Structure 1
Amino acid sequence: MRGAIEGLGTPFPLRDGLPGVLLRGVSEAPLEAGTIHGLLAAFDDVLAPILATVDNIDAYLDPALTPADFLPWLAGWLGVELDAQWPAERVRQVLAAAAETLRWRGTPRGIAAAVRAATGVDPEVSDSGGVAFSPQARGAFPGSPDSLLVVRVPPGTDLAAVSAAVASAKPAHVPHRVEHLRR
């Protein structure tokens, strides 16, 4: 049959669900085309890959096991932006780190995790912690209400890639600056 995957059977052949009256004369020999048994065998060939996929859906959701052509879909589902130049193993590493990155999103720890996942370097993250809060009504703000996020990375690190990672992990209203560490 055209389109069937050689050797891939189904764990639930459709003919097993036939009433007894239609099973008369069914043997383990190949079924002839044109019979109800042949029709059911054709459906089994079509359904076998679908059943195999459904039975193994957990492997599709694991970055280490999913097929390489499924990685972009998984990244989109997790909201992770990928660089088209990354090899599949790098994409798998980034997706495996996504849970940690998303858990701490918006915090210095989460921003560091996002930069580490995107570039492979450990950044220094400084957050001014600025918020508009006062313990008394109409009172003065302690410190500076202006927030600023500064991320420093080793020399030679691609600042554009770091900036993109920071922008995706930080709160949208917080301005940020990316710079190289001074030696």
Structure 2
Amino acid sequence: MLPGVFQQAPQMGLRLKALLDAMEGFHAPSEAALAEVDALFDPRRTPDGFVSFLARWMDLELPVTTGLGRLRELVAAGAELSQWRGTARGLLLFLSTATGRRDFELDECVLGPDGIPRAFHICLRAPEELMPHRALLEQIIHREKPAYVTYELHFTATEAAGPSAP
């Protein structure tokens, strides 16, 4: 009682299998992408081209001249950086995450020419090797310090580790 097309069961099975195989092939790339969608949002596993997109989501549009790896680390630390924003700890954490260096010095008691501490003024000393990244450092300081605070940025030579004196 079936139409003639369906009465040819063996041939129809082959046609249907071919159609299903073709449809499965069309969906395979999408299914593969969905199986690993979590990797897109992990800054350490996402493709290189997507890192800057994640950085924009985290409000980290900076001229990160220290490399893509440092930008990945900034995005990964975004929640913690946001938590400490506007504090000395947050500023130092941001700078060390962006550069990979931990030898920044922050002086919150800067003396003026008259010997009296300057109110709302900080002095940040960075390693001399980071001088090519001055624009990055200044942009980080500007965005992380409270609006009413002024700052100075100085680069200092790092001491070479030599033999200790007896």
TM-score w.r.t. length of structure 1: 0.60
The equivalent of 1:50 in structure 2 is 30
Larger helix share, 1 or 2? 2
Residue 151 (structure 1) aligned to one of 124, 130, 146: 124
Q: Is the 8 A contact 1:124 1:152 kept in 2?
A: yes
Of 98-107 and 49-58, deviating more is 49-58
Unpaired runs of at least 5, structure 1: 1-20, 129-142
CA RMSD, 1 decimal = 3.4
Determine the C-alpha separation between the residues in 2 that align with 1:61 and 1:67: 10
The equivalent of 1:31 in structure 2 is 18
The equivalent of 1:96 in structure 2 is 76
The count of corresponding residues between Structure 1 and Structure 2 is 140
Summarize deviations over 1:30-66 as a string: whole Å, max 9, x none.
525xxxx58xx44x54544334333423211111111
TM-score w.r.t. length of structure 2: 0.65
Instruction: Return the structure number with greater relative CO, CA threshold 8 A, min gap 6.
Output: 2
Task: Give the partner amino acid of 1:152.
Answer: R
Task: Give the partner amino acid of 1:149.
Answer: I
Q: Is the 8 A contact 2:125 2:156 kept in 1?
A: yes
SS at match of 1:74: helix
Determine the C-alpha separation between the residues in 2 that align with 1:150 and 1:28: 76
Determine the C-alpha separation between the residues in 1 that align with 2:117 and 2:75: 37
Residues 148 and 63 of structure 1: CA distance in aligned 2, closer, same or farther (over 3 Å): same
Task: Give the partner amino acid of 1:109.
Answer: R
Residue 112 (structure 1) aligned to one of 84, 87, 92: 92
Map 1:14-29 → 2, pairs under 5 A: 25-26=12-13
Unpaired runs of at least 5, structure 2: 1-5, 110-115, 160-166
Task: Give the partner amino acid of 1:170.
Answer: K
